Structure 1
Amino acid sequence: MSLQSWLNRVWYRRRPPPWLVPASGLYAAVSALRRAAYRRGWLAVQRVGCPVLVVGNLSVGGTGKTPLVIWLAARLAAAGRRPGILTRGYRGSAGAARLVGAEDSAALVGDEPVVLARRTGLPVAIGRARVEAARLLIGAGCDVLVSDDGLQHYA
């Protein structure tokens, strides 16, 4: 059985396996502390100067986030806005935040960002440092950002 098959089986079980319960409790506690630190101002929220719409959910893969991002960005553009798409660049080898072109290599920037750039013709930026990538999009003239799968970032 492949690792991916095993992870999917564990992820979608009705109840978590007993060995995972302590780890999930620890994760929940750390997440709660981190959210509280942002709420209390102990960790700074970084503003990028334009609205950011986050598309995501608590499920992994295959739930339609990317098609929704494409649809939402197209609707924003049709309404006269200048949207940019922000994504992590999962499975890409690029280290720093960067703008993605339709001709970029999926090995470098990840396959989803290339699909987003080709399908929308809009500016797309990748980066583990989301704020840095967002600033690249603003520098490219975007006035609203659509973040693909950004729910894990509180800043």
Structure 2
Amino acid sequence: MKRWLERRWYSSEPAPRLLQPLAALYGRVADRIAASKRAQAVRLPVPVVVVGNISVGGTGKTPVTLWLIEQARALGFRPGVISRGYGGRAAAYPLRVTASTDPAECGDEPALIARRSGVPVAVAPDRVAAARLLIEQDRVDLLIADDGLQHYRLARDLEFCVIDGARGLGNGARLPAGPLREPAARLASVDAVIVNGALCTALPTHGRPQLAMQLGIDRAQALDSG
């Protein structure tokens, strides 16, 4: 079913009619929850930069987060990263992630970010709690939220939406009829759209800046010998 859906989402065919009522229901519920969370958004004492996407699946958010860490450090900031920690199951939250934290507890991507960058990282279903942990314990003065575009309880100062340039937004429909968590019109409110791969002139970026990124292999490492 998953493979069939993905093929339909990113094909030239229209969204499956049978799933359109479910997509409409999903959209109403998700939009209502988002509006409620926005009304209760928590403003933290440090700037918050959110990296996310409006579609399901990987688009290249974590490499963007790592790049932003480097840029923030170059500007003199002490950045920290917060994340939901998908795939991890910690005994308690918020969880402070270090280079030695088991990915089974924190999730693959937070473990990668901690090991690769060395900056303070915390995960929690409640990103506000994770952010407060880093502010109090590590004295960070800038927070980067990896995959936090839909976590509206956390007020933010900058939003970057990362899109897979090869697949774009698919058929433009919301889940489950299409791949979108939020409608394409959401791009009108982000600060920049970052396209992973070639720039796509067909993307409905609603006048927002469109930036290109390319991922490349820096080096190869043998897993059996290090």
**Per the shorter chain, which TM-score range?**
0.7 to 0.9
Q: Normalized per residue, which structure has more helix?
A: 1
Closer, same or farther in 2 for the Cα pair 1:13/1:152, shift >3 Å? farther
Say if 1:10 and 1:100 are closer, same or farther in 2 by CA, change over 3 A: farther
State how far apart, in whole Å, the 2-side matches of 1:11 and 1:4 are: 10
Matched, 1:112 2:114: no
Are the structure 2 counterparts of residues 108 and 144 from structure 1 closer, same or farther at C-alpha, using a change threshold of 3 Å? Answer: same
Output aligned runs, 1:51-70, within 5 Å.
51-70=47-66
Q: Unpaired runs of 5+ in structure 2?
A: 154-226
Shift of 1:136: 0.9
The one-letter code sitting in structure 1 at the alignment partner of 2:15 is P
Farther off after superposition, 117-126 or 53-62: 53-62
For 1:116, what is the secondary structure of its paired residue? Answer: helix
Q: Deviations 1:1-22 (Å, cap 9, x if unpaired)?
A: xx65345335434432222211
CA pair 75-148 structure 1, distance change in 2 beyond 3 A: same
Return the offset for 1:60: 2.7
Distance in 2, Cα, partners of 1:62 & 1:53 = 19
In the TM superposition, what are the counterparts of 1:4-153 in structure 2 within 5 Å?
4-14=2-12, 15-37=14-36, 43-94=39-90, 95-139=92-136, 140-153=138-151
2:81 counterpart SS class:
strand
Is the Cα–Cα contact under 8 Å of residues 84 and 127 in structure 2 kept in the other structure?
yes
- Contact 2:34/2:150 (8 A) holds in 1: no
Residue 53 of structure 1 aligns to a residue in which SS?
Answer: strand
Residues 96-130 of structure 1 deviation map (CA, whole Å, 9 limit, x = unaligned): 11110011101111111110001111001101011
Task: Quote the RMSD (CA, aligned, Å).
Answer: 1.9
TM-score (norm 2): 0.61
Amino acid at match of 1:24: A
Which deviates more, 14-23 or 117-126?
Answer: 14-23
**What fraction of aligned residue pairs are identical, expressed as a percent?**
48
Distance 1:116 1:6 in 2: 32
Distance in 2 separating the partners of 1:37 and 1:110: 28
Task: Give SS of 2:101's match.
Answer: coil
How many Å separate the matches in 2 of 1:4 and 1:136? 37
**CA 1:13–1:111 in 2, change beyond 3 Å: closer, same or farther?**
same
**Structure of larger gyration radius:** 2
Q: Secondary structure at the match of 1:84?
A: strand
